Structure 1
């Protein structure tokens, strides 16, 4: 330690301090447009992402939108990498406000400038290569939907890039660490261990103390896997009901207090149109098994891509989904990812919403979710942060109706970054079959896809809309489900 107290060499009195001009200065917020239409003032790595996705004319015409899109996009990618081991938390409007603050701070952080090159180009999140089977038998007049799986190689590039950013930030920190810092780290580590034990005990106290194998018979069918855990099918030994069990490795969860609170919340969330929480067990001392309902009809996505739905069937699905949304909204919860993938069907036509809280990704679609919420269903205010709240779910419902009409959401064939730009600039998308829709359905869609949030309807208001009066019985969905399963070879 003696080197810390060495006498500094005497400074020569005649030396004159020379102050150099600042270098590598970035004004993150002050975005300008040059004569040739190039944006300046953003991190250089962000500028390289624009590539051919946003033209110079578009940059010049909508510089603020381009900045907002890049800011949100990069923050979401970074957050996805950081929270890759976490489950999806229940979202409230307070969480939205906090996220908005974090996005603003991110623009000015060193993480926004770390990358010397950008792998997040127009190739990122491009759809998987290879020919697609011609499986659209009934929907002959509509374009085939691209494969729904994200190109894994490009996703790896994205994750590697973000990880390298984190490593660089960590290296910068290490240079200035002292022995006292390391002592503090040791204290925090010990404190964290105590907290973890406390949380684990509290989680045990609210979980079923029994052996899950006494209640459920595990099948060999895996439903999916991802960073936050694996999901497998099982059968309730008493009722014969099919269930999905999500295995969460609690050692990989950094926010165990949220995990604890959400178990308490989900135990009280019961609704006929939600994939309901059924039970929870602590197994192997550090794994949480969350038991949820399992529907055997698959996601609504299969039906909308492989069959043509009548307006009465669309109304039936909307009515059921709206009841789930209204239930969540009344309890201060925002779903934030309403889309056909997250609407599951029973073979009897039952409709249930999933993918909220730790019930996320029951069908293993985690690889598709490379940002907070899926961009193609995203409301414009998510990017602009203007009056961002519960009504984002209503916009997403409107986009899901477009799915049920056209087989895919608008801009699906565009890369996510450009899709975000088009959603933010264009607002309400064009609907291919608009002129052939009934006035009641047109009115319903109008209320869902209002760019002005104040003019957009609430879930409660839409439940009383006349379009839902023409809804068909849910059992009419069964032939569509069977046809989709047959065409997708899922029978």
Structure 2
């Protein structure tokens, strides 16, 4: 038998279609999974990955799809990217966010649309990580209906800079970018930084050098009250022996942290962040050589959420809270930082009415169980440009403040009863939400909300501009919040 006969026979065995002179085409390589969305004659979206079509279900009507096809695409893209990103990073803690990070995230979202992951369903993304034992929770903060009758109303009715920029964090984050580049793409300086070859052990040494070298038990007396636990460790209450100040100590298991370079940069930054309206970083210790104890302020009044859901706030009290939160936002913005998650849950109160913003950097998850969020940020407080990526920057915090005012008026943000995907669609498609009690508000408060909830980012106020607004001149004293805090604690059985 000739060689050609053997070759021919072999081909027939695997590709019998050749007997009928049908060409055999090999499997494609380097497939580009780009997404091109169009609307057909029936007004239906076409070109979406099948997994995305299934996700839409009944959450976005066919009429909405035909009217706003681009919005639907952007929402699905952002939603699925957020889930994938949250599961990849594990959100060991919330990193300080700069505008540079926002630009990089936008590029990642664009790249996500061209990846095979964009064609996976949410369920398949989540199941991949569930099999690994990860904790997964849909960001869907359903709250009980606000109580506005009975003793609640009776009780509430008669109630009387030396740190210039984030150059440091950008330099250290640059180390991560450098390691992801090929040698030919690096500048001479970056090439030398890579060649320095800093290992996790090297970063641990640097972390130890900037932490308090003493024994934390010499400074703080641990209480029996655990505040929560999660994948990165646990949080417990303690008292400063010198001042008597109540503190929260977050115990981070360093063996489970994969980004020790970012840990190092954030410790350095947080040590320079000191403001009366921030939950401040106080100290850090390395114990047992592999555990990082981060000490932060702890407020005993609980989150603003308890007050907005259980009591009725006067406009002067709303003004007081807004003023304090704006001072914190302005401080962060001046240092190139975007909070990206302003909401009542992240505003903590002292029993004296002190107002402090939390949940950024190491201050994330200081109270309550630390569970994974599957969204980047919380959708109900999210500005439209977060999804559309147009002029996305510091002013997202101002929009979120506006939504938090709606919370203080109505007890919850708009669309809270909607699933996250539909909430994202409504926020992006509708822009500014309707406020049921609008006609009952003073002109000053209406004007203030107008400046916060401008869809056009250029027309939205800055923190500095809002701090000069007439509405804030009507602030009531912070101590008037104390009866509200006590009433909320009683109703929630937290006393």
Into which bin does the TM-score normalised by the smaller protein fall? 0.7 to 0.9
| TM-score computed with the length of structure 2 as normaliser | 0.81
Asked if structure 1 preserves the Cα contact closer than 8 Å seen for 2:384 and 2:431, the reply is yes
Contact 1:244 1:291 in 2 (8 A): yes
CA distance in 2, matches of 1:393, 1:276: 19
- Alignment correspondent of 1:42: 48
In structure 2, what is the equivalent of residue 274 of structure 1? 278
**In structure 2, how many angstroms separate the alpha carbons of the residues matched to 1:268 and 1:308?**
37
- Alignment correspondent of 1:20: 25
Could you say if the C-alpha distance between residues 444 and 126 of structure 1 is closer, same or farther in structure 2, counting changes exceeding 3 Å? closer
- Secondary structure of 2:225's counterpart equals strand
Structure 1 counterpart of 2:397: 393
CA contact (8 A) 1:338 1:393 kept: yes
Residue 77 of structure 2: aligned partner = 71
Are positions 1:311 and 2:315 aligned together? yes
Secondary structure at the aligned position of 1:198 is classed as: helix
Structure 1 distance, partners of 2:199, 2:242, is 37
Distance 1:340 1:364, change over 3 A: same
Q: Is the 8 A contact 1:244 1:293 kept in 2?
A: yes
**Residues 409-444 of structure 1: CA deviation (Å, up to 9, x unaligned):** 000000000000000000000001100000000000
* 2:331 alignment partner in structure 1: 327
User: How far apart in 1 are the matches of 2:46 and 2:34?
Assistant: 9
CA displacement, residues 15-34 of structure 1 (integer Å, 9 cap, x when unaligned): 89945287898863310123
Q: Structure 1 residues 192 and 219 mapped into 2: Cα distance closer, same or farther (>3 Å)? A: farther
Could you say which residue in structure 1 is the equivalent of 2:251? 247
Aligned to 2:37: 31
Which consecutive unaligned segments of at least 5 residues does structure 1 have?
A: 1-8, 142-190
Asked if 1:57 corresponds to 2:57, the answer is no
Question: Where does residue 354 of structure 2 map in the other structure?
Answer: 350
Rounded to whole Å, the distance in 2 between the matches of 1:14 and 1:251 is 55
Q: Counterpart in 1 of 2:300?
A: 296
- Tell me, in whole angstroms, the C-alpha distance in 2 between the residues paired with 1:14 and 1:21: 16
> 1:276, CA displacement in angstroms?
0.3
Write the deviation string for residues 259-292 of structure 1: whole angstroms up to 9, x where unpaired: 1011000000000000000000011211111000
Aligned counterpart, 1:91: 97
Aligned position for 1:4: none
Is 1:219 the counterpart of 2:218? The answer is: no
Shift of 1:140: 7.9
| Contact 1:85 1:253 (C-alpha < 8 Å) held by counterparts | no
**Cα gap change, 1:79/1:247 in structure 2, threshold over 3 Å: closer, same or farther?**
same
CA RMSD of the aligned region, Å? 2.9
Give CA deviations for 1:290-321 in whole Å, capped at 9, x if unaligned: 00000000000000000000000000000000
Are 1:418 and 2:422 an aligned pair?
yes
Query: SS in structure 1 opposite 2:275?
Result: coil
Would you say the 8 A contact 2:211–2:285 is kept in 1? yes
The answer to whether the Cα contact below 8 Å between 1:302 and 1:485 also exists between their aligned partners in 2 is yes
Q: Distance in 1 between matches of 2:444 and 2:198?
A: 59
Between the aligned partners of 1:378 and 1:431, the Cα distance in structure 2 is: 16
Kindly indicate whether the alpha-carbon contact (under 8 Å) linking 1:139 and 1:307 is maintained by their aligned counterparts in 2: no
Determine helix, strand or coil for the equivalent of 2:59. coil
User: 1:263 aligned to 267, 278, 299, which one?
Assistant: 267
The number of residue pairs the alignment matches comes to 430
